[in-house]
Structure 1
Amino acid sequence: MPLHFVKNPRELQPAGAHVGRVSAGISSKQQLMDALEAALRLPAHFRQNWDSLSDVLKDLSWLPAGKITLLHEELPTFSTEDLGAYLRVLEESSRSWRLGEAYSLDVVFPRSCRHRVLAPLADLRPKSPWRRLKAELARDGSLPYPVEREFTSRKAEGFDFVMSIVEQRDGSTRQLANALSTAFTMRHWDRTRLARALPSLCIHEEPGLRETAVRILLILLDLNRMAPGERIPYDDARLCAALLREALALGVQENTEAVARKHLARMS
């Protein structure tokens, strides 16, 4: 989550490319803008309004590439309207940065302010835990550990949720790939159900989703040989060989192809 809450931000020394601190005692929009200009070394074209703040926080190119952390020693005490506008800018700007991009933006507040920070953002965040988790599946790359742990903590219900997304193709290809990866980590709830979903995904037209499915299949094939408790309905060598050949014909990454060809050689 781009917004973080800690007991005492004053004592926090986060690692990263740049750390900006907004001191306590901010009681007006003007004071906040001045503090942000100093904390983040905002460029000359910055105009002290919410739209301009949103633009620069989605840019950050004047700072060294890497993780940018904005620490608030206290929550500003200006009007409810301005506070809501500021928090929305922070929420939207920090979430605009995706995994693998040159920058990331973390925003830190005191833990004692958590409710006052999150309340104005309620309409920006999915209210249902399942809607929120599905939104997290749209992230680039693998899910953050706290998010994956939230899926797994829901046990069979969480597994059923991600498998339903996979089986019904209920989402973008990125969501499907992340749902499939999450289901794999929870496969002990129903290995057979996971295995049944793989064949069509191994030959999916979208390369990223196909790559994810083929890698999972290869891991399961290894587990089939090494761990009796992991056995799934993929003992039919001819079925697996045909599926892998079709996936290779469509294209997978070089290292995945090398592993797949080792399996094919073993099956022949």
Structure 2
Amino acid sequence: MDHYWTGGAPWVHHLDEDAQRPSFLLPPSGTSYVARLDGARMGDEQGVHEQMSAHLRFPAYFGWNWDALSDCLRDMAWAPADHYLIVIERSALVLRERGTLLGILDRAGRHWGHRLDQPGRSFNSLLL
């Protein structure tokens, strides 16, 4: 794959620093929303929700649980864009049981990538 700004799978990426190439990192044309989160502050579920809510500017009705996180990531009406990218720096420090979070990020990517009403949109996550 030449870059991660696509609507196709995979939607969650983990790159070593050596694998980062400028062509991979450049966004396509259109509006982009990039949120940079700190994995060191995501050591538990509450920290995940705090980072996501703060950096993605979730609305006040965010429910502070996994289902609410999934719902918000598949909506994003308050931050309209053609392409969404979540960058989690220091991802090795994200909560030990990260399967739930990665599944939610994957489902959000699939949702945005398969929208028939708005083709060409993307939602990807990059773990550094």
> TM over 0.5: same fold?
yes
Aligned equivalent of 1:78, options 85, 92, 95: 95
Q: Which runs of 4+ in 1 moved over 4 A?
A: 11-14
Checking the alignment, whether the CA contact within 8 Å between 1:27 and 1:78 is kept in structure 2 is yes
Report the equivalent of 2:12. 3
In 2, Cα distance between the equivalents of 1:33 and 1:50?
8
Checking the alignment, whether the CA contact within 8 Å between 1:14 and 1:69 is kept in structure 2 is no
Partner AA of 1:78 in structure 2: L
Gaps of 5+ in 2: 1-9
Aligned: 1:60 with 2:76: yes
Aligned: 1:17 with 2:32: yes
Aligned: 1:47 with 2:63: yes
* Cα RMSD after superposing both structures: 2.4
Displacement of 1:105 = 0.7
TM-score under structure 1 normalisation? 0.36
Instruction: Give the paired residue count.
Output: 107
In 2, Cα distance between the equivalents of 1:47 and 1:55?
10
Aligned equivalent of 1:37, options 36, 49, 53: 53
In 2, Cα distance between the equivalents of 1:23 and 1:13?
19
The structure having more radius of gyration, on CA atoms, is 1
Displacement of 1:14 = 4.7
| CA deviation map 1:46-78 (0-9, x unaligned) | 111110011111111111221010001122442
Instruction: Please state which structure has a larger fraction of its residues in helix.
Output: 1
1:47–1:14: structure 2 CA closer, same or farther, 3 Å change rule? farther
Aligned: 1:91 with 2:100: no
Gaps of 5+ in 1: 111-268
| CA deviation map 1:208-265 (0-9, x unaligned) | xxxxxxxxxxxxxxxxxxxxxxxxxxxxxxxxxxxxxxxxxxxxxxxxxxxxxxxxxx
Identity %: 26
TM-score under structure 2 normalisation? 0.71
1:70–1:29: structure 2 CA closer, same or farther, 3 Å change rule? same
| CA deviation map 1:107-150 (0-9, x unaligned) | 1112xxxxxxxxxxxxxxxxxxxxxxxxxxxxxxxxxxxxxxxx
In 2, Cα distance between the equivalents of 1:40 and 1:14?
20
Question: What secondary structure, in the 3-state scheme, does the structure 2 residue paired with 1:56 have?
Answer: helix
